[in-house]
Every structure is written in structure tokens, then in C-alpha cells.
Amino acid sequence: MLNFDGPTPLYIQIKDSIRKAIASGEWKPNEQIPSERELCKRFNVSRITVRQAIADAENAGLLYKIQGKGTFVKAPKIGQGLTRITSFGKTLQISGLSGSTTILESQVVPVNLQLSSILNCGLEDQVYNLQLLGYGNDEPIVYYNSFFPLAVGYSMNEAAQKYLKLNRPFSTYDLYGELDIAADAVDQTFEAVNCTQEVAKIMKVREGTAMLVVTSVVYTRDSKPVEFKTAMYKADKYKFHLKRNM
Amino acid sequence: MLNFDGPTPLYIQIKDSIRKAIASGEWKPNEQIPSERELCKRFNVSRITVRQAIADAENAGLLYKIQGKGTFVKAPKIGQGLTRITSFGKTLQISGLSGSTTILESQVVPVNLQLSSILNCGLEDQVYNLQLLGYGNDEPIVYYNSFFPLAVGYSMNEAAQKYLKLNRPFSTYDLYGELDIAADAVDQTFEAVNCTQEVAKIMKVREGTAMLVVTSVVYTRDSKPVEFKTAMYKADKYKFHLKRNM
DNA sequence: TTACATAACTGGTTATAACATGTCATGTCA
DNA sequence: TGACATGACATGTTATAACCAGTTATGTAA
């Protein structure tokens, strides 16, 4: 089950296994997962290791614990929770909306100074640009503008075409699952802007409508940037939730 | 130093002590804090306990660690980081803005259904309403509309008057420090809205300007709600940053 | 049958211990 | 002098062990 000799810590492997069990639906929302001691036996590791895996998963918004009762799978909130990374497709599903995603643009473009610095590539390099439009109940809800290193971009595009054919809503987070890239962390900035004319046209809103803009940089486990993305959400259709500790 | 017999876990006491050392300026941003083993000796506890305290503090955005080098005090970002709770006064200070806060309203009001449910009080109860306007460089930046249980509200108002006399910028987070209330966690919702006429007047912007609205419920250590707050930020002056793990 | 003590779970806290891995200063050898 | 080995010290990972504190089912006594 676990690789005891490899370089990957056991608790990370266990966390990944938890993530998979939840993503695959094997463990359902609000369902109790095996107890810490049970997982110790199952993976043949100490309780500290299991607890660290669970703590990480809890931190990522995948689980919650109740003392004396057990550990449970966290059900994502309506809207979008900021603890747990939830893809567009999943968010729609939770909200009970039918949805779809269209590809507005899929192209290779030269970098600018900002992009080369963020994606950590040369000024002469090219990057892949993917622009998606997400619909909920046939209404544009979010406009994604992503930039990837070239190799990643080509794979992303392939995966996107695949989802497109299936006519299922998706965002780039859904696509990572299709690739062998393990996205591990995201840096995000939230701000409100008045919608420009171009975006207004794309999203079918009046110019000046308040939009929630989330700028993200996605990193792999080894802290290499793999995506720079700007997401513009139609304000009245999308909120973000967050729990913070002091 | 620590209370070994009390009900408060040692690692929480240590975390509080870390928080105080940072808040008081004893430990400055980017300064290295004593090593784990040093803290073990100093507090006379095991390394696990110290590590848990540090992990909590890191999670709250107070510290960061570099393997092989040490643990350091995190310097809050310009803008507002979403990992670490940063008060309005502190945010201004980091941004290098001079600022101030005025009290728009300080009154006792009856609850409505939403408030009674959130603050967990009876429908006949009254609550304290405090409305603040935060300025940066003489320009309105944020409008806070807070509601507290009555007893808390009176203390908050006193503390606010005190800050007002000192002519120092503040938000309710600054005020908690003055009271004996240990705010421990916050639930927040982020959304973008077009500014209404009333708010436009208060914040001296054009009607329809995009505003970032953050709705917060503040909880004490024992998970009792102590504040319901709506904060409206002038969009071009305020952004929020967040790092998320998967 | 009901009420209460208890046992058998759950996660929460803490100690001790060892070794791995990353960083850096120091000292040695070419 | 410069390159490299080494040791001291930082955090990272993991095991074993014990006890505390809630939750729940069970079984016993009134």
C-alpha cells in the first residue's frame, strides 16, 4: 500500500490516499472514515503518522473531526469554500446547477515580463494560453484566463478537448486530475473590479458590473509554478467562504 | 511560565505566548525565533508540544519555517493576507499609509431574525451596533458595520472611544486586544457588489463602483459568536491574499 | 422497564527517542 | 587560496507509550 523506502513521507502518501478515496466517491460527504487506530493497522504505521496525514487533510478542507465521535468527510459548502479547493464542475454540482464550459481561446503566446517572472521562464520563451468560459444554467458565470509553461499547456489543451467532447463543465483544476501533474498549493489574490467593456461582452453583463477577480498561481509539490490564472466571477452568482484562526 | 495543571493545553499556552511576543514587537518580522529545542528547554516541555504550538502559529500566518535554518516571524503582506488576521490599523502601517478611523454610529438596536440566529441570542434581545469608517491618506477605504451581544458592545464602544481620542486608526480586531475577549476564529464570506447610493455617499465614490464585501462572524475559543460584521472595501485600495493547499 | 455505572470505543495531549535531511561555519588537504 | 570533508545545529519524519476527555453501547441493579 505505502512505499516505505521512497523519498515521499508516509503521511503524504496517506493524505493522497485519503484525497483519492474522497475524490473517487469511495468516502462520501459526512461519512465517518476509519478511526485513527484502525488506519494505523491498515497502513502499518504509528498514530503520529496517521494524525499528521489527517491534520493535513483537515487543513485542506477535506475532513473534520469530532472528539469522541470520529473523523468525517467534509461536505463542500454551497458557493465556494476557501479552505478546500473546489473545481468549477464540482461547485456547480453541489449548487445543483447544470453547466458547461466552452473554450474561448487555446493558443501559444509569447511571454511578457510579468508572466516570465511568475512562471519562472526565460523572456524568450513562449507559454500556452487557455481561456475558458464557465456557464451555470446557460448563463456565463466565470471567465478563466490561464497561462501554462508550454509542455503543460499542450497536455492541458488535450485534456480540455476531452472534457469538451463529453460536454461536462470543467475548470483547470479538473484538468490536473487528467494529467500527471500534482498541483499542491495555490497563491490567490481577491479583488473587486468594475467589468470592462470586453469582459462585459463575453459574460453578457452590463459594463461596470461588479466582478470578483481571483488571480492564482498554482504550484506543484516541489514549489514549481505551473499555472498563472485570472478568474473573473459574476458577483451575484459566486461567493467565497473562509474560516480563519487567530 | 506555563500552567501545567490548568485545563488549557500547553501547546495553546505556548502559541499564545508566541502571539504575544509578535504582537508586542519583542519578535520582529523576519527575525528568527528560538529553535524548537531551545523552546523545549525554556518552557520545560517536549518537542512535540513545541512543534504543535509552532504549527498552529504557522497556520495562523504568524510564522514560517525553513528546514535546516530555523523558524521566523512572518511579515504580513501589503494588502491583506488571508492567512493571518491583520487589523485595519496594522494593515495601514504596513502599507505606509497614514490613517484614521471615525465612528459613524454607536447604538443599541433590536435584533432581526438573521442577527439573533447568528449571534445566538433571543428574538427579544437587543444588540450593539458599531459603524466605523476607516481612512487611508484621508480617503475612505473601508466601512465596517458590526453587531455585538450587548455586554460586549458596551466594552467595544469604550475601547473605540479610547482609540478615537488617540486619533489612531483601528478596527474591531484592534479593540479585542483591549478587552478580555480572546477572539479565536472567524468565518468570512467574500463577494463583489456594486456600491449602493447610501454607501457611495459615505465612502465618497460613484454609485455602482465595485466594492469588495467581506461578511464575518467572529468566534471565541469556546466557539461562541461575539461579532457579526460587514466590511465594505474600496476595491482599488484593498486586495486579499491567500495560500491554499490541496 | 428504567436509571445508572461501566466498558469500549472515539479523538486530544504529551513525553521520550531516534534517525533523516537541509544549512552553514569551520577546518583540513591539495 | 580553493575545494571539499566534517561537525554542529536547524527542522522533518516516525515509532512507542501513556493518559485525558468526550461519546455510545452494554449490562446490571433498583
Cα three-residue angle A244-A245-B4, rounded to 5 degrees: 165
Distance of alpha carbon A45 from its chain centroid, rounded?
30
Q: Does CATH number 1.10.10.10 belong to domain A10-73?
A: yes
Contact at CB, A185 and B212, closer than 8 angstroms: no
Strand D reaches within 7 A of the A10 CB: yes
Q: What is the pLDDT of residues B169-199, one digit of tens each?
A: 888 988 988 887 878 888 888 999 999 999 9
Q: Which residue has the higher pLDDT, B114 or B38?
A: B38
- As a whole number, mean pLDDT of residues A214-242 equals 88
- Judged by C1' against the alpha carbon of A46, the nearest nucleotide is D15
Strand D reaches within 7 A of the B69 CB: yes
> Among chain A residues 41 through 60, which have CB within 7 angstroms of nucleic chain D?
44-49, 52
- Protein residues with Cβ atoms closer than 7 angstroms to any atom of nucleic acid strand C: A 7, 33, 35-38, 47-48, 51, 65-71; B 9-12, 44-49, 52, 66-69
The predicted model scores a pTM of 0.82
Strand D reaches within 7 A of the B122 CB: no
**pLDDT at residue B168 in the model:** 87
Q: Which ranges in chain B are annotated with CATH 1.10.10.10?
A: 10-73
User: Which residues of chain B neighbour A189 with C-beta distances below 8 Å?
Assistant: 79, 239-242
**pLDDT at residue A82 in the model:** 66
- The percentage of residues in chain B with a pLDDT greater than 90, rounded to a whole number, is 59
- As a whole number, mean pLDDT of residues A50-56 equals 97
Residue A83 pLDDT exceeds 80: no
Q: Which residue has the higher pLDDT, A81 or B69?
A: B69
Contact at CB, B246 and A85, closer than 8 angstroms: yes
Pick from B56, B193, B235: which is nearest to A193 by CB?
B235
**pLDDT at residue B36 in the model:** 97
CATH number of B80-241: 3.40.1410.10
Q: Which ranges in chain A are annotated with CATH 3.40.1410.10?
A: 80-241
- Judged by C1' against the alpha carbon of A33, the nearest nucleotide is C10
Nucleic acid strand D: bases within 7 A of protein CB? 9-18, 21-24
Q: What is the pLDDT of residues B21-60, one digit of tens each?
A: 998 999 999 999 999 999 999 999 999 999 999 999 999 8
Q: What is the pLDDT of residues A192-206, one digit of tens each?
A: 999 999 999 999 999
Residue A91 pLDDT exceeds 90: no
Reduced to 3 states (helix: H, G, I; strand: E, B; else coil), residue B123 is coil
Q: Which residue has the higher pLDDT, A98 or B104?
A: B104
Strand D reaches within 7 A of the A9 CB: yes
User: Which residues of chain B neighbour A185 with C-beta distances below 8 Å?
Assistant: 243-246
**pLDDT at residue B82 in the model:** 65
Mean pLDDT of chain A: 90
Question: What would you measure as the largest C-alpha separation in chain B, in angstroms?
Answer: 60
In the DSSP assignment, the letter for residue B237 is: G
Pick from A188, A192, A245: which is nearest to B244 by CB?
A188
Cell numbers that stand for A164 in this block: 469538451
Kindly indicate the confidence band of residue A97, based on its pLDDT and cuts at 50, 70 and 90. low
- Judged by C1' against the alpha carbon of B50, the nearest nucleotide is C14
